[in-house]
Structures are given as structure tokens and as C-alpha cells.
Amino acid sequence: MKQYESSFTSLVSAFARAYHSKFDTPIIFDDFLARQLITEDEFKEISRHMIQGISFFNKDIALKFKGNSDEILKWITQVQLSPTPLARSAYTEKVLENEILLGLRQFVILGAGLDTFAFRHPELKNILKIFEIDHPSTQAFKKNRLASMDFEIPNNLHFTSIDFTQDFTYQDLLIQGLKNQKTLYSLLGVSYYLTKQELVTLIQTLFAIVPSGSSIVFDYADEHLFEQKGLSNRVENMVKMAAASGEPMKACFTYEEMEHLLEKSGLLIYEHLTPATIQEQFFSNRSDYLSAFESIHYIHAVKK
């Protein structure tokens, strides 16, 4: 992964969250700090790239909204970019809120990118220890960005640089202060880019030293990923864009495969959200373009 690729990926995700917080109603997930991590030039540049690429996403929409840049940007953002990042983050933080009430004291964010959770919840600084884990280049980019934007790093936030495709050990986490106590992991937007064996190895390693009751929330693509086009070809577009960026999507799963994978790691599925369930929980009764992404599922799995 190159520095530019990692930073651009995290910037586009932050752009989608920032756009939603500013322009969409009702709010699914309010990342009101995301806009502060993007410069004005970056926001304009990403917007321009999206608008200019409308013919790639949908030629009919390009003709329908020709000359209406605001509507084109809204369509691309709400149809292609935002649905999964918004709903999976909302779901994860809902699970986290409940786990904190049950005594959770450690939260590990894998593939954190420009995540703002620790900054949006200063009330948790003496309650929850937060670990952000990501590729070294992505994390270096974030640290530089936080410094340039004068973000003060809370005492309960710890950074650890790890390449998920390489041998992953607990050493860096232990140095940062991870304890052998109940832990919630989030693994959002990562499973698609790992092979099935890499995902198995990662999950087994994550749960090797944490106690029973620890859990993980993640999203994954089902067995239709590489054959389903989706609304306005958005699933097909997602796969194509990932390949073009040099980070191709590698794995998709049947529910039975995922269940077996987790069971091998000593985990049971506590909750499974299908695209239909995600639509009902997070996107019902809307009048805009936002809707649940086809082929994408969420899981909350707990260590036995």
C-alpha cells in the first residue's frame, strides 16, 4: 500500500461521513468531526473527481442531471459512497454503547483510517481505553493530519501500526497497554481485502489472549459479490474501483462459511444483519437516494 493510496482511501471515507453530517436528513451516523480532518482543497478535489466520474457510475444519471453538479454529487455520494460506511459505523457504535453498559473497558479499532470516535466521546476518557490499528502509512498520514489540524490526542487513545496481511502479533498492542480483559474489536471495511486465510489468521490472533465475552463487529461480502451488479451497478462499480486502486477485493462468504470460520476461532454469531435487515434498521422511510448496499452483511460475534 502506498502513502497516497492509503491516505486517499481514508480521505474519501471521511468525505462521505462529512457530506452526510452536513447535507443529509435524517442522520444515520453523525460524524460531525470528519469535515475538520479534510482541508477545503481536498473536499473540493474529491467532489470534483466524483462529479467528473459520473459517466463511470451511471450514464443515464449523467444525462439526467447534466449541468447540475450538486445533484450529481449527492447521487454519487448517497448511492455509491456513503451507505455502507454510515450504517456499519452506526451499528458498531450501537453495539459498543451496550457493551460499555455491560462493563467493557477496551475498544480496538482495526483499519481505523480517519476514525473520530475517541474525539467525539471525551466523556469516555476515564472509562474506555481505545486502540487504533492501521497500516503504517495510513496511520502516519492520520497523525500528521491530526497535528496539522490541532487535534489534541486524548490520553485514552493509543496508535499501533500493523499490516494485516503480514504476520500479526500482540507485541505492539501489549506495549501500548492492551490488557487480558473483555475487549470489543471493530473490523470495518477490511475483510473484503484479505484472503480467507488471512481473515481466519487475524481473527484467531485477535482472540488468542482476550477472555470469554470479548467480541468483534465487522462487515463482509456474501457469495454474490462478484456476480451481483446492484442498484445502478454500484456493487459491480465497487469491485472495479477496488481493483483499479491496486487493492482488489479478495474474499466473499456464504453465511455457513462465515459461521464455520468464526466457530474455528472459538466465536459464536450473536447477531447477523442481512442487507434487508440493514435497510429496515437504518434506511427505511427515506426520501433521498440512500439505501442498504447489496451483498454486504454485518456480524457481531462473541468469544465462547
Tens-place pLDDT, residues 40-71: 999 999 999 999 999 999 999 999 999 999 99
> Do 273 and 91 form a contact (C-beta atoms < 8 A)?
yes
pLDDT, residue 33, reads: 97
User: Which residues in the chain are classed under CATH 3.40.50.150?
Assistant: 83-303
At residue 19, what is the residue type? Y
Averaged pLDDT, 266-293: 97
Q: What percent of the chain has pLDDT over 90?
A: 84
Q: Is the model's pLDDT at 273 over the cut of 90? A: yes
**pLDDT for position 99:** 98
Predicted pLDDT of residue 174: 76
Q: Which of 96-100, 190-194, 219-223, 268-272 has the lowest mean pLDDT?
A: 190-194
Q: Which CATH superfamily is domain 83-303 in?
A: Vaccinia Virus protein VP39 (3.40.50.150)
How far apart are the C-alpha atoms of 78 and 74, rounded to whole Å? 6
Q: Label residue 3 by pLDDT band (50, 70, 90).
A: very low
**Local structure of residue 192 (DSSP, 8 states):** G
| 245 pLDDT more than 60 | yes
pLDDT tens-digit series, residues 126-175: 999 999 999 888 899 999 999 999 999 999 999 988 877 676 667 767 76
Is the predicted pLDDT of residue 5 greater than 60, yes or no? Answer: no
| Whole-angstrom distance, CA of residue 93 vs CA of residue 27 | 14
- The pTM score is 0.95
Spatial strand order in the sheet of 129-134: 157-161, 129-134, 106-110, 183-187, 215-221, 296-303, 267-273
In this prediction, residue 83 carries a pLDDT of 98
pLDDT tens digits, 79-94: 999 999 999 999 999 9
Q: What is the mean pLDDT of the chain?
A: 93
Residue 165 has a pLDDT of 67
- Integer angstrom CA distances of residue 53 from 65, 228, 242: 13, 21, 15
pLDDT of residue 1: 44
Q: How confident is the model at residue 269 (pLDDT cuts 50, 70, 90)?
A: very high
pLDDT at 260 (0 to 100): 96
**DSSP 3-state helix, strand, coil percentages of the chain (rounded to 5)?**
50, 15, 35
The secondary structure element, H or E, covering residue 89 is helix 83-101
Contacts of residue 210, Cβ cutoff 8 Å, sequence gap at least 6: 180, 181, 182, 183, 303
